[in-house]
């Protein structure tokens, strides 16, 4: 499993940190905004829907309508998938 954080505004991502917070810090220091960052887990050995898991503490954003570690908002899930698919071929 590989941790990743996706910036849905800038359409970039950071992967490979020990914690999602590590990747989040890199993107924030590069000018990303917190509200655009979403944490994921990638499972290279799996395919299709099992490849991406939307689970991270950084996804807890009650002010944006996301009240769990998962990404509950379908439009954001779709956006994250599109960005990941641009960078990673499964």
Residue 72 has pLDDT above 90, yes or no: yes
User: CA 79 to CA 20: how far, in whole Å?
Assistant: 18
Give the pTM.
Answer: 0.95
Mean of pLDDT values over 31-51: 95
Q: How does pLDDT run across 1-31, given as a tens digit for each residue?
A: 999 999 999 999 999 999 999 999 999 999 9
Residue 90 has pLDDT above 90, yes or no: no
Residue 49 confidence (pLDDT): 87
Are 76 and 40 contacting, i.e. CB atoms less than 8 angstroms apart?
no
Polymer length of the chain: 90
């Amino acid at each position: 499993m590989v941790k990743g954080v996706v910036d849905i505004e800038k359409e970039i991502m950071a992967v490979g940190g020990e914690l999602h917070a590590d990747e989040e810090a890199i993107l924030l220091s590069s000018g990303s905004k917190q509200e655009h960052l979403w944490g994921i887990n990638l499972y290279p050995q799996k395919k299709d829907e099992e490849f991406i898991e939307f689970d991270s503490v950084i996804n807890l954003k009650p002010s944006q309508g996301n009240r769990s570690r998962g990404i509950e908002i379908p439009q954001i899930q779709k956006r994250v998938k599109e960005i990941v698919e641009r960078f990673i071929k499964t």
